[in-house]
Structure 1
Amino acid sequence: IRHARATDGPLVPVLLKAGAIRFKPILLTALAAMIGAAVILTDPIFQGLAISLLFGLASSTLLTVLVIPAIYVALRT
């Protein structure tokens, strides 16, 4: 972000550009892990683990894509 901000300018457009670049890899990685965890949802022994893993992946993906950049903007402006 510092490098892009030095060359591109204001913070919000730089964060939007960085978010657009990072969004697809983050989402695909989370979806692959969620699909892998969904396989063990049918097993009664590992069902609790799978549920917590799915919700953890979903929440961390949302935090990474939406909340962390918003906090960064709030702290830098």
Structure 2
Amino acid sequence: MADDREQKAGELAMHAFKTAGNLQLLIEHMEICGFRTDEYGREDLARVANSLRGMSVRAAMSSGDDDILRAVTGRDDLGRL
């Protein structure tokens, strides 16, 4: 059971990390094209992306998978975390 939960946490970490990156790209493309969503400003979307990045780190730490943690933090020196 714990292994399954850790695996699911790792999957969540990667999903949140990739979604945050895609959301940031969307924000940049919207700015280039001069578009905005009807209800959310750039700052709102940026806060969501930032929140997803934070959640991805917490989920990666819960997964116990150093490769996932490295991927979402961009750090090789995990001994200091």
Task: State the TM-score, normalizing by the size of structure 2.
Answer: 0.44
Structure with more relative contact order (C-alpha pairs < 8 Å, separation 6 or more): 2
Say which one has the larger Rg. Answer: 1
* The structure with more helix, counted as a fraction of residues: 1
Task: State the TM-score, normalizing by the size of structure 1.
Answer: 0.45
